């Protein structure tokens, strides 16, 4: 099987073929660092993370570039409001962003170019567009891209640009300095509102438009044509459409081979927005006691091109699911006296088949729900084999290794590689005392200690091999 990805450009699943054998260049639109990212942002980042990890699982070397938009209306407004320099303001949110992706087990990109550090590249690109006559100076001194000069405009988003009545009316309504509403800014001339945020360049005093940074930086780090460009659906238009226009006009080459876009996330059935009060950052969820693994699992439990309805009910269900998987791994890791002696050929075949099913599902446009279903199937079969003492140590090791392999892509199992969690000594002591009570058949003492431990967030399970404990989440 070959990996297939749904390409927004063709609206079809296409076999993925990299430009350079064994290597993939991928550019993902990163955060505008003026605030904490929210769970909708993280759906995109987690999806991109899984895409990247799966490519690697498939044996590709991946070069991943993610931009940090650190100059735009919002970052300027934010820094002005706080009376601190722009870079100081954005540094704070960049730090938070990196903390957050670490929490969600998102692997950092290889390069995180900042817009403010690539002004030269952007200016060079804009100059090229001016020379080619596809860009023009507006009355306000800003530089705009003339979309009528780019034949393929609208191909990605399938937006048609006939001179509709509506758009003409809007041109009249707003006082635009540009010729046509759909034309977009490459370079924004300085205005007093920008304060000390400006660059004095050959093309004037001002700052870059939003779209140009992605064209300039992606091509700088990945080449004029690269493999995959990813982002949320909202970016299809106008952002990515504009990137194509700029890049192709400048180089005359194809810009990106595969455009992949993830659908949005709804919260309790509605669009997430601050006014509806259903706007959550990762920090909000952590404060409520939710487990990052559960959040990540929830984000992967629907297909990425499907709208995902984020609810607390589902998040709690996700926590239980992740817990069960984690329990399962603990079980097969420490099966001890539970295992049989004989190699179970049937379970072995089932294990092999599970890998095939997982790979097939992921090859099919990263169908994570189907991949998860394959995993649960093996969980059930393995549990049954253990129950019947019909699995050998080697069988269980094989299953365990396979799950670790799956988790190198999904990253929803415990991060701690199953080394024992630390718990305070006093709790260890309680567990010991409870065991002593149980030996005396003093159930009353044993049970009260168990309740006490539960209050302290530790659940005790008695097994034939002695007591086992695990921490519990205290989700709402």
Site for RNA in 203-262 (CB under 7 A): 210, 231-239, 262
Transcribe 155-196 into DSSP letters: TTTT------HHHHHHHHHTT-SSSSTT-EEEEEEP-GGGTT
- The reply to whether 67 sits near RNA by the rule CB under 7 A is no
* CB nearer to RNA: pick between 127 and 330: 330
- Is the Cβ of residue 89 or residue 184 nearer to RNA in the bound state? 184
Which residues lie closer than 8 Å to 232 by C-beta, 6 or more apart?
A: 29, 40, 43, 44, 261, 262, 263, 264
Provide, rounded to whole angstroms, the least separation between the CB of residue 202 and RNA: 26
370 makes contact with RNA (CB under 7 A): yes
Give least dist CB 369 to RNA, A: 3
d(CA 245, CA 148): 10
Q: Tokens 């649960």 correspond to what residue?
A: 376
Identify which range of 83-91, 97-105, 110-118, 361-369 contacts RNA by CB under 7 A: 361-369
Which of 380, 401, 440, 452 binds RNA (CB under 7 A)? It is: 380
The one among 386, 399, 412, 413 contacting RNA by CB under 7 A = 386
Q: Is 471 in the site for RNA (CB under 7 A)?
A: no
d(C-alpha 378, C-alpha 371), whole Å: 11
Residues 24-63 that bind RNA (CB under 7 A): 29, 31-32, 37-38, 40-41, 43-44
Q: Under a CB-based contact definition with an 8 Å cutoff, are residues 156 and 241 in contact?
A: yes
Site membership for RNA, residue 278 (CB under 7 A)? no
Based on the shown chain and the rule CB under 7 A, indicate whether residue 414 belongs to the binding site for RNA: no
- Which residues in 79-138 contact RNA (CB under 7 A)? none
Interaction residues for RNA, span 168-207 (CB under 7 A):
184
Q: How far is the CB of 95 from RNA (least distance, A)?
A: 17
From the CB of 187, what's the least distance to RNA, in Å?
15
Ranges within 394-413 binding RNA (CB under 7 A): none
* C-alpha neighbours within 13 Å on the C-beta side of residue 189: 12
Shortest Cβ distance from residue 22 to RNA (Å)? Answer: 28
Give the torsion through C-alpha atoms of 295, 299, 300, 305, to 10 deg. Answer: 180
Smallest distance, RNA to C-beta of residue 151, A:
19
Place of tokens 């690109």: 125
DSSP strand pairing (256-262 vs 226-232): parallel
> What is the CB-side half-sphere exposure of residue 211 using CA atoms within 13 A?
21
Residue 327 Cα distances to 91, 289, 436, angstroms: 40, 20, 25
Among 12, 20, 254, 324, the residue binding RNA under the rule CB under 7 A is 324
Among the listed residues 160, 341, 420, 439, the single contact to RNA using CB under 7 A: 160
Give me the least distance between CB of 20 and RNA, in Å please. Answer: 26
- Rounding to the nearest 10 degrees, give the CA dihedral for residues 236, 241, 244, 245: -170
Smallest separation, CB 376 to RNA (Å): 4
Closest distance to RNA from the beta carbon of 247 (Å): 17
Rounded to an integer, what distance in angstroms lies between the CA atom of residue 316 and that of residue 155?
41
Q: Which of 80, 127, 137, 264 binds RNA (CB under 7 A)?
A: 264
- Among residues 377, 393, 418, 456, which is the contact residue for RNA, using CB under 7 A? 377
Task: Say if CB 475 and CB 289 are below 8 A apart.
Answer: yes
End-to-end CA distance of the chain: 43
Binder of RNA out of 53, 188, 303, 411 (CB under 7 A): 303
CB atoms within 10 A of CB 92: 16
Residue 135 vs 378, nearer CB to RNA: 378
| H runs (alpha helix) in 28-145 | 39-57, 73-82, 86-103, 119-131
């Amino acid at each position: 099987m070959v990996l297939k990805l749904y390409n927004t450009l063709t609206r079809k699943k296409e076999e993925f073929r990299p430009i350079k054998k064994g290597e993939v260049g991928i550019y993902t639109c990163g955060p505008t660092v003026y605030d904490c990212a929210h769970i909708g942002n993280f759906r995109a980042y987690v999806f991109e993370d899984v895409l990247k990890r799966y490519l690697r699982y498939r044996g590709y070397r991946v070069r991943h570039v993610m931009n940090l938009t650190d100059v735009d209306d919002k970052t300027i407004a934010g820094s002005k409001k706080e009376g601190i320099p722009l870079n100081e303001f954005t540094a704070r949110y960049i730090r938070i962003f990196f903390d957050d992706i670490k929490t969600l087990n998102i692997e950092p990109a290889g390069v995180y170019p900042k817009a403010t550090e690539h002004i030269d590249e952007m200016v060079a690109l804009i100059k090229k567009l001016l020379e080619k006559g596809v860009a023009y100076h507006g009355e306000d001194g800003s530089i705009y891209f003339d979309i009528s000069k780019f034949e393929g405009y609208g191909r990605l988003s399938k937006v048609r640009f006939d001179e509709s009545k509506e758009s003409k009316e809007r041109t009249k309504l707003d006082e635009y300095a540009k010729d046509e509403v759909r034309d977009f800014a490459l370079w924004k001339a300085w205005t007093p509102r920008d304060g000390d945020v400006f660059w004095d360049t050959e093309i004037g005093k001002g700052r870059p438009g939003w779209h140009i940074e992605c064209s300039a930086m992606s091509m700088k780090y990945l080449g004029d044509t690269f493999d995959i460009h990813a982002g949320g659906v909202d970016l299809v238009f106008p952002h990515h459409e504009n990137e194509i226009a700029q890049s192709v006009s400048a180089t005359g080459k194809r810009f990106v081979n595969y455009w992949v876009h993830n659908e949005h996330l709804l919260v309790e059935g509605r669009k997430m927005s601050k006014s509806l009060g259903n706007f959550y950052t990762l920090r909000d969820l952590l404060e409520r006691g939710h487990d990052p693994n559960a959040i990540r699992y929830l984000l992967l439990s629907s297909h990425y091109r499907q709208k995902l309805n984020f609810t607390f009910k589902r998040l709690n269900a996700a926590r239980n699911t992740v817990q069960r998987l984690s329990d399962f791994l603990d079980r097969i890791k420490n099966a001890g006296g539970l295992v049989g002696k004989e190699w179970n050929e049937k379970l072995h075949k089932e294990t092999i088949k599970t890998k095939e099913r997982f790979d097939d599902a992921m090859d099919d446009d990263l169908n994570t729900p189907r991949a998860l279903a394959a995993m649960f199937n093996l969980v059930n079969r393995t549990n049954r084999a253990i129950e019947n003492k019909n699995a050998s140590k080697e069988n269980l090791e094989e299953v365990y290794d396979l799950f670790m392999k799956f988790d190198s892509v999904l990253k929803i199992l415990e991060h701690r590689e199953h080394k024992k969690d630390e718990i305070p000594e006093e709790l260890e002591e309680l567990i010991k005392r409870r065991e002593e009570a149980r030996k005396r058949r003093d159930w009353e003492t044993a049970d009260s200690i168990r309740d006490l431990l539960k209050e302290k967030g530790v659940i005790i399970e008695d097994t034939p091999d002695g007591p086992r404990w695990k921490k519990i989440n205290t989700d709402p």
